[in-house]
Amino acid sequence: MPFDGGRNDRTEYLEKLDAIIDLIGTPEKWGQGHMHRGAKYCLRGAIREVDKSEVLSPAILNAINEVMDCHYRRIETFNDHDRTDHDAILAVLMKARENVAVGRFVVTRKRGFDFIRLSHWWNRWGTKFAG
């Protein structure tokens, strides 16, 4: 049940966001141009270090676009941009945390290869290409 004191996905996601914040929480722990070098991580590198499935990536990318008021397609592009500084990174992570905490952004687990979608595509288009 939702309120029986057990863990839920939202709690897990918040813990992972907190771990990412801890990992790159100071300017000395964050870097640009590399995933992980020494004790420094870029935002994508920190996400991968904490969460191998990268389930939080959509929530963080959404927060980037909200905070920066522009459209980035990739976390790496935002992280490595000349105008991105550590304060912007923390603002994005705090916005992502806020969104997950109040349920404004639903984080979904990455799924495997989508055979159903492929079969629909093949039924519609594939037969035209298969001589």
Query: Which tens digits make up the pLDDT trace of 27-39?
Result: 999 999 999 999 9
Q: Residue type for 56, please?
A: L
- Show the domain range for 105: 9-129
On whether residue 112 sits in a domain, the answer given is: yes
On whether residue 65 sits in a domain, the answer given is: yes
Residues 6+ apart with CB under 8 A from 79: 32, 42, 43, 44, 89
On whether residue 3 sits in a domain, the answer given is: no
Query: Count of domains in the chain?
Result: 1
On whether residue 1 sits in a domain, the answer given is: no
- What is the reported pTM? 0.76
pLDDT tens per residue, range 85-97: 999 999 999 999 9
